[in-house]
Structure 1
Amino acid sequence: MTPLRLGYLFGLGAYLLWGFFPLYFKLLRPASPPEILAHRIVWSLAFVALLLAALRNVGFLRALARRRSALAGIGAAATLIAVNWGTYIYGVNSDRVVETALGYFVNPLVVVLLGVVVLRERLRPAQWAALAVGGLAVVVLTVDYGRPPWLALTLAVSFGGYGLVKKRLGLPAAEGLFVESAVLALPALAYLGWLSAAGDATFGRVSAGHTALLVLAGAATAIPLLLFAGAANRLPLTALGMLQYVAPIIQLGCGVLIFHEPMPPARLAGFALVWLALIVFTVDALRHTRRRHPHPPVAAVPAAIR
């Protein structure tokens, strides 16, 4: 199998798993969103620690300890991903899967906006047009919901900010997840201990299957991330950018077709505006990439996770 085909398989695998996350997190009830988040953090740390030990790749910790300037960035990345994970779990288990899907549709536009605000990047006219249409979509959805779509916006901003911090840190996928989970592990363990002492923990008290699903939250977090890293190492950036819409499309399908969440005409109109903004954004990105790179570049990933 060629590296390109393997890259597509890795990428589709990652986004398919992310797309069907609502089905998985629904199965974790009656655990509360904070309990699910705490287990996700703890078992992610355990899973990635075993993986790195098996690969004999623990030397990066010594190198990281010498990068004191990176420690603040790691703390920021850990906070942002905890907010993102917690918001997503809350959205799924409060029957707002459609709104969580909206967050990941809006995310590419938020990333562009962060580039302007934080990195002082200059946008092309088509990118400004896409942001304007996206802003109009938020107004329409605010009218439909009777409030701003805070859940979707929190997901988009937290994940966009996480990506920005991660780009500056330059940590490989597995190593990055390990140190971020390690930062969050102590508060997560403390919360789980308090929950158990109060008699409110569901871990080990609902069923063996429920307990196993909570433990598997670590693998469910790490595996798609590692698949994505494998795809990013083999695919052109344009192809990777197109694949990113697979997950929210599946999540939207789960919300509407499986969980029967409402999609009134006004909400559909808001989504249609978001999709229009993404079409403008994607077409402009493809044209710009082809103009600069007749042969699209492959996204580089550190060799440690290849």
Structure 2
Amino acid sequence: MPTSTAETSRGFLFAVSAYVLWGLVLPLYMKSLSHVPPMEIVGHRIVWSVPIAAAILWWSGALRQALAKFRSPRIVALMATTAALITLNWSTYVYAIVKNHAVDAALGYYINPLVNVLMGAIFLGERPSRLQSLAILLAVVAVLILTVLAGGLPWISILLALSFGGYGLLRKMIPVAPAEGFFLEVAILALPALAVILMAVPEGPRHYVPHGSDWLLLFGAGIVTALPLILYAAGAKRLEFATLGILQYMAPTMIFLTAVFLFGEPFSNWQLVAFALIWTSVGIYIWSLLKQARDRRRDRASERASLTAEAA
């Protein structure tokens, strides 16, 4: 909960910066590496994230605490599962950008919050509101339109939404701080990722051996992976959930605009119909968040009034 106007403003700046990095900088960055096979990009992204994540934890004094988590087989097993899910998400995203399917990536991140609501209802017993149920229904109709009328099942969108939704669900259940969790995940993935990179050393038809500025770009992939996560965590501590829920749609909107107007990806009439339904569902979902926040403020005000009356 924000403690002051200054803290709220800082949180807003941190969160917006994270979503700009995710929605605009990251797609352009990955596109500049489109001549590199997607899995090798992901491998470098993981490997170079390890020293960055370790340095952040060392600076904050939490590195020893994070390393101690490796002594718990249960936590390691759970973090290995989330690491597999985030690898699937990153691989799908990178493939979408470099293979000219960024519009599908935008769709995936538009429907991801609705998938979160659905997963919460299925696995955590959370009851979605009527507005949220309507938003989910509209998203399902949009996916059906894309599947039946726009040329096929949008598997990239579905994989992105389900993998990130599953990732968020599991991370919610694991008692590990965000920065520590990120370090544990990339540390667990480091050896497999390094193996993928080393496979590219003998240059062949399916591999690209980095040279020159590509090494800097691939190293920088670790920075553009870690930095928005850090900014997001800093923003989340200072902002209300409803505010974050609204701001999260900045990223897919920027990905969508970048895909259509900068990457020149095709956008058919049926895709426009489907996205219109998605944008409508987004509006309904945002309205539900605002309504919930308003109800919580009203309840808190009532509680304070009751306590004041009792004290008097």
Report the TM-score when normalising by structure 2.
0.89
Residue of structure 2 equivalent to 1:124: 129
Structure 1 range deviating more: 49-58 or 161-170: 49-58
Residue of structure 2 equivalent to 1:273: 277
Residue of structure 2 equivalent to 1:302: none
- Find the residue that maps to 2:153 and give its secondary structure: coil
Matching residue within 165, 168, 172 for 2:170:
165
Residue of structure 2 equivalent to 1:156: 161
State the shift of 1:293 in Å.
3.0
Distance 1:158 1:289 in 2: 28
For 1:73-122, what per-residue CA distance to the aligned partner results, in whole angstroms no more than 9, with x for missing partners? 10111000000000000000110111100000010111011112222322
Give runs of aligned pairs for residues 117-266 of structure 1, distance below 5 A.
117-199=122-204, 201-205=207-211, 208-266=212-270
Residue of structure 1 equivalent to 2:309: none
Distance 1:61 1:17 in 2: 26
- Find the residue that maps to 1:293 and give its secondary structure: helix
8 A Cα contact 2:203 2:209, kept in partner: no
For 1:217-240, what per-residue CA distance to the aligned partner results, in whole angstroms no more than 9, with x for missing partners? 111100000000110011111111
Matching residue within 48, 72, 78 for 1:73:
78
8 A Cα contact 1:75 1:183, kept in partner: yes
CA RMSD across the alignment:
1.8
Distance 1:63 1:294 in 2: 43
Does residue 45 (structure 1) correspond to residue 36 (structure 2)? The answer is no
**Count of residue correspondences:** 294
Distance 1:216 1:295, change over 3 A: farther
Structure 2: gaps (5+ residues): 301-312
**Larger Rg computed on CA atoms:** 2
Q: Which amino acid aligns with 2:283?
A: I
Residue of structure 1 equivalent to 2:20: 16
Q: Which amino acid aligns with 2:249?
A: Y
Distance 2:190 2:67 in 1: 20
Residue of structure 2 equivalent to 1:34: 39
Distance 2:70 2:214 in 1: 37
Distance 2:70 2:100 in 1: 42
Distance 2:70 2:194 in 1: 23
Structure 1: gaps (5+ residues): 297-306
For 1:144-164, what per-residue CA distance to the aligned partner results, in whole angstroms no more than 9, with x for missing partners? 432110000100000011111
Q: Which amino acid aligns with 1:229?
A: A
Identical counterparts, % of pairs: 39
8 A Cα contact 2:78 2:174, kept in partner: yes
- Find the residue that maps to 2:200 and give its secondary structure: helix
Does residue 58 (structure 1) correspond to residue 95 (structure 2)? The answer is no
State the shift of 1:216 in Å.
0.6
Distance 1:286 1:255 in 2: 29
Distance 1:202 1:50 in 2: 29
Q: Which runs of 4+ in 1 moved over 6 A?
A: none
Distance 2:242 2:228 in 1: 19
- Find the residue that maps to 2:128 and give its secondary structure: coil
8 A Cα contact 1:40 1:214, kept in partner: yes
For 1:200-228, what per-residue CA distance to the aligned partner results, in whole angstroms no more than 9, with x for missing partners? 653443xx221100001111100000000
State the shift of 1:271 in Å.
0.5
State the shift of 1:45 in Å.
0.9
